[in-house]
Structure 1
């Protein structure tokens, strides 16, 4: 297993994540600066808010929902979801 960490940057460095692989599979740990973002998925994503909060409009949903520290939401593969960030927020994303 490789020990090298991959750092990804999106939206002009407003979102950064570090990818890792371990016994639980592939994950990223990241931080989002204040702003509004749209993400696409290629795998099912389990998103957990680590610090701060994310207001999310999930695929096929009409309402925005706010997730706070410790909350988890799931986005299926090949979907698009929108995120509003009102304070710098850290997250963990596990892929399946």
Structure 2
């Protein structure tokens, strides 16, 4: 199990898609932030406001990256990068988790 140490965590969760996606913001002493999320089975479309690195921490996501017409599979231990101001889709058939770092 990976640990994130010496951080502050927001008490209030970020809830999306009628509770099917939830994340918590983690704040570091240097001012950076990550979010840790849980995604219930389904298909979802997200938009970015800044660059992101999405690391799959458990389960599997199928991802349709911006400008792509096909889906790519990302399993636990893999990641993908997104530019600012783009939209992408995620789908999964079982509960999956992620850690999002912001660029």
Shorter-chain TM band? over 0.9
Q: Do residues 43 (structure 1) and 50 (structure 2) align?
A: yes
Structure 1: stretches of 5+ with no match in the other structure:
none
- Name the one with the larger strand percent: 1
Aligned pairs for 1:76-95 within 5 A: 76-95=83-102
Structure 2: stretches of 5+ with no match in the other structure:
1-6
Aligned pairs for 1:63-74 within 5 A: 63-74=70-81
Which SS does the other structure have where 1:87 is aligned? coil
Cα RMSD (Å)? 1.6
CA distance, structure 2, for counterparts of residue 3 and residue 11 of structure 1: 25
CA distance, structure 1, for counterparts of residue 53 and residue 8 of structure 2: 23
Aligned pairs for 1:26-65 within 5 A: 26-65=33-72
Give the alignment's TM-score, normalised by structure 1: 0.92
CA distance, structure 1, for counterparts of residue 8 and residue 70 of structure 2: 40
Which SS does the other structure have where 2:26 is aligned? strand
Give the alignment's TM-score, normalised by structure 2: 0.86
Q: What stretches of structure 1 move > 2 A for 4+ residues in a row?
A: none
